[in-house]
Chain A
Amino acid sequence: MDALMTWLEAQLADNSIFTLQTLGYYGEGLVTTVQLVALSLIIGLVLAVPLAIGRGSKHRWVSLPIFIYCYVFRGTPLLVQLYLIYYGVVFVEGIQETWLWVILEKPFVPALIAFTLNTAAYTTEIFRGAIKSTNHGEIEAARAYGMSKGLMLRRIVLPSAFRRALPAYGNEVIFMLHASAIASVVTIMDLTGAARFVYARFYAPFDAFLFVAAIYLCLTFAILYLFRYLEKRLLAHLKPASG
């Protein structure tokens, strides 16, 4: 560790941009970005499962509101949603007197709400497609066993749908990571915020943004690797048989 630090310091001695201070900004930005993206993905996933089931419901009063929600959040830019939730909420009459304001005052929670609602809408559609394409034979077999609807959902439909949804969901995770770059418009110091700061400070757009692009690239590869591993484990039975 000490050897690494001395090496790092030697590297940093030659340039005026990547000092320990600016690297500190990038470090904080990395933590903020990972927190924001991970939290929104987890909450979004938890919301998306029941929403995806409800979206396929025969009752219109269940499926229609979910359809509208997905339509709106997939049909508008995330940047606009973020602006509305951060700056727009101020114009709600009397909100500053309620307990809600304590949460909404800082930029992190409004950004988290925007990101979560956005990813939940996309994930809902991904899962709905996966549920819809469940093999009819499996459902008939489950019925033949006399399974109730809930049991069939839990044992047959959802597990196979999750597996089918995996590749598409992996893309959604990467999209979310990249989309999170807009968080700095509401003053959050995420990775992009740190890059903007360094850029404005030293008038060095290439250094600042190439460096942050490399960090995003590493994160993207880590996610890709994770999903590749999951697919290998969970979708092994779908692989073409080989000798």
Chain B
Amino acid sequence: MKLKNLLSLGVIGATLIAGSASAEVRDIRIGVDVPYEPMEFRTPEGELTGFDIDLGNAMCAEIGIQCEWVVQGWDGIIPGLQARKYDAIMSSMTINEQRREQVLFSDPYITPPSAWFAPADVEIGTPSKDTLKGLTLGVQRGTLQDNYVTDMYGDVADVNRYATADDMVLDMDSGRLDAAFLDFPIGKSTLLESEAGNYKRVGKKITEPKEYFGDGFGIAFRQRDKELAAAFNEALATLKANGTYDEILAKYFGED
């Protein structure tokens, strides 16, 4: 009881001090949960690495501050931010309304893409209402991919909805499906890199429109750290403009 009171006093005290701190962006610590390859994971040597880590470090360098990574379990990651164990969270966190009430998000720095996959010998071209007409398309039931395909192509193509991605892959192998639409990383590991499969990606990776594919991953800050968030947004824009962002993306997700 006593300890708890002391702790909350400490938090209040820290808050008061922070409130009077200057607006200048200082060195920070960033909370991250591992492992979640390729976003954040440890190398066999135990070193922290991944897309989030590299991009975060590049942003910090761009802003001109020192950043230290703090490993924190996922269920305590937002309380940890509020308890000042670190000043930001960069850990594949999807931006959503619930979290927005707790934290301040940066601009999304990546939106997990979806993509079309088809057997290597099937010629589809760029997926559109014309090219997908009359085909049998596979999706996982209830996913954002299901909503997207149903709304965009449900009236011109047959949409087969599967309970699991495994069932869908099985029907893809058997030739019952002409194409499947799923999370790019899942499709990559189950179809493109499968032993038996002879598949290819069709068209570009898809992350738009937002109403289907969400807001992507964002860096979370405490609500009051508006200058910090602005500095990171600016850094992200610079890295995207000068090509550093694409380099890091290619390093972890392969060539587009």
Contact = CB atoms under 8 A, between A and B. Distances in A.
A and B are interacting partners: yes
Interface of A: 87, 90, 96, 105-107, 184-185, 187, 189, 193, 196-197, 199-201
B140 to A, nearest CB: 10
Given A200-B146, A201-B147, A96 B174 contact: yes
7 contacts: A90-B173, A106-B176, A185-B167, A187-B160, A189-B161, A196-B141, A197-B141
B19 interface: no
Name the residue in B142, B146, B167, B174 with the highest tally of chain A Cβ atoms < 10 Å from its Cβ.
Answer: B174
B141 A105 contact: no
A200 B141 contact: yes
Contacts of B171: 87, 187
B175 interface: yes
Contacts of A193: 161
Contact of B167 (A87, A189, A200): A87
B163 A185 contact: yes
B196 to A, nearest CB: 12
B162 interface: yes
Contacts of B163: 185
B186 interface: no
A197 B163 CA distance: 11
B23 interface: no
Contacts of B141: 196-197, 200
B25 interface: no
Contacts of A200: 141-143, 146
Interface string B141-162: 1110011000000000000111
Given A105-B175, A196-B161, 15 more contacts: A87-B167, A87-B170, A90-B170, A96-B175, A185-B167, A187-B160, A187-B161, A187-B162, A196-B141, A197-B141, A197-B161, A200-B141, A200-B143, A201-B146, A201-B147
B161 A105 contact: no
A6 B176 CA distance: 42
Nearest to A196: B141
Interface string B113-154: 000000000000000000000000000011100110000000
Interface in B216-244: none
Interface in B17-49: none
A107 B173 CA distance: 15
A79 to B, nearest CB: 12
A12 B147 CA distance: 21
Nearest to B142: A200
Nearest to A201: B147
A184 B167 CA distance: 12
Contacts of B176: 105-106
